[in-house]
Structure 1
Amino acid sequence: MKRSLAILCFLVLAVSACKKEDELSEFVPEFEVFVLFPTEGIGDRSFVDGVYEGIEKTVQTVNFKVNYIIPDSLEAGEQWIQDISELKSDISPEALVIIVGSQYTSALESINGHFGKHFVLGLETTASAQDRLFQVTFHTYASSYVSGYISAQKASPCKALVVAGFDAPFLTEYIQGFNQGVADAGGTVSPPQFLSTGFSGFEMPDSAYRFTNNLLPDHNLLFALSSGSNQGIINAARDFPKQRYVVGVDADQSWMGLTVVTGSVIKRFDKVVFDCIEQFSSGNLNSGNVVLSMDDGSTDFWMNEVVMENTQIPEELIKTAIEKEKEFILSSGGDI
């Protein structure tokens, strides 16, 4: 029978040595965490893997049982959210449910806080405020600006281009920040190109490879905003006969192309996940929404030392990027 959901349940045993030789203490989890991933699941080397790594690090210091849910389709994931109130924990009546990805925003909106006794943490979701829901999103203009400015100097004379999974509103800050950084460094920017019309653009590395091959003759710097498809973009740049450069996203993607990746615009999912789970454990995780940024250290541009050897990011550039981000947010009708 085809299952609509593939549930990977990992019970991480954090054991410590007892005073008696060869005797181990029994691991007793204090609570349970359910994590709903997008359909592409673990292995995108980007957003999802960043969250997964953060959770796996957190279980080393906080006692809990974690269940990873990877739906076969977006519809299956949305149905899982609809049934949150019926979710049963083996440990306690209240569990922490982590929803990963903006594609689940509509499903969260539709259930209007009917989470039963559970608390929900939304990573990159933007539903309206609800009781027992805490949502975390990120401003990425500043870190993208720095990536464009620094990378354009490496690729001089720079002809840059953004290659994104699809034309999604949540990618706007990345695109605008990067383009402005390249322009302020003296480079030129072409209009962004999109792999698809929906979230499938984040999980098609083979198509991304072919798509990127057609762009590389006229561009020497690409900002890869395609999550799981970034492997194809980076491979295409690496295989191109002339030197080309790529900026990665969400997690450090330098290892995917040590000779072509200038660095990655990263989000500190590890810190966010740890802080939220620890707060839930102590009963201090409250409802609300928060937007993190480079100004508080939650986003950054991590350089690849192989490509960017001896390159330093001037403190004044970071200050400029943060100020430009604030100007962009205000001009877009947002709050700082």
Structure 2
Amino acid sequence: MPTQPLGPLRILYIEDDPDSQRLVQRLLEAEGYAVSIARDGLAGLELARQVRPALVLTDINITGMTGHEVATRLKEMPETRHAPVIALTAATLATDRERALVAGCDGYITKPIDVDTLPRQIARFLAGAREKVADDVKLQRLEEYRDSLVGRLETTVAELQKANAELRRMDKIKRDFVILAGHELRTPTTLIYGYTHLLKMELQQIGVENDRVTDMADRITAATKRLNEVVDAVINMSLIDSEQIELTLRPIQVENLLYSITQELQPVARQRQLTLSLADLSGFPPLPADEKYLRRALTNLIDNAIKYTPDGGAVAVEARLEGAALHLIVADTGIGIQPDE
């Protein structure tokens, strides 16, 4: 038997009716007990693990798990297996009492609550009193309880399967929408990109030199390219989430790939007075990978390092070979990530 903690004994009351909660809490606190309240069975079990009550009061007809199921679980949990579990319920039939006791309750108190006798009943159960069921009745009630648990399990499994099917349906609708929207967005962005390129060619052919128009065309081209990258990223995330992404693996020279990426990002780094360096990766073996997706992942990683590094800082790209594993490292002088994140 675990030793009782110092201070007032704590009682956990599992009840979904606010009026009953207030009445019992005020009554027991007036008697010197500490009272914790839970609104349903699952919340009651979690709270029981935290507060380790000396006694548990539970209604039978509560949301989620029933009071019977809560009592059964409390008697299995190491934090509460020694604590008396008392049913406090409006069900007054003898069979209701018997079902509660065989499920794991140690006592049975009926509503409406008698404010004069409840404190004495609580004290009696804390002192070791326990109610029992006759052996000839116990087996019958246990069979009824078993049948009810199997029935609830069957119903719950059917509901979960139905909910899972609905979630899969909604997920497919979302995935199809994202892919369709992505393809629909690609069409106008491709046209914008193409016509902007034609505009620049036309200006060159007719011999018109207009730096302002050329600059605007370059900005449109860059923005369109960025929009295409965002659309691709959204589609890829949808494919990854649905495990439908297809990878084309082939040997990739990591040195060449990282050199190409860092060269593309050098102008961005120079605008921020950042030093973007690449270690000597010559001699590293080819890496089997999908070049398109690996390039995108590494570009995002290095681009984020540049984005979150203060002006004048440094971003270094390195690699380390350990056995058959190749570790790619992007180190920067930015704010970093907290260890707990």
Whose relative contact order is higher, 1 or 2, with alpha carbons under 8 Å and at least 6 apart? 1
Of Structure 1 and Structure 2, which has the larger fraction of its residues in strand?
Answer: 1
TM over 0.5: no
Give the structure with the larger helix fraction: 2
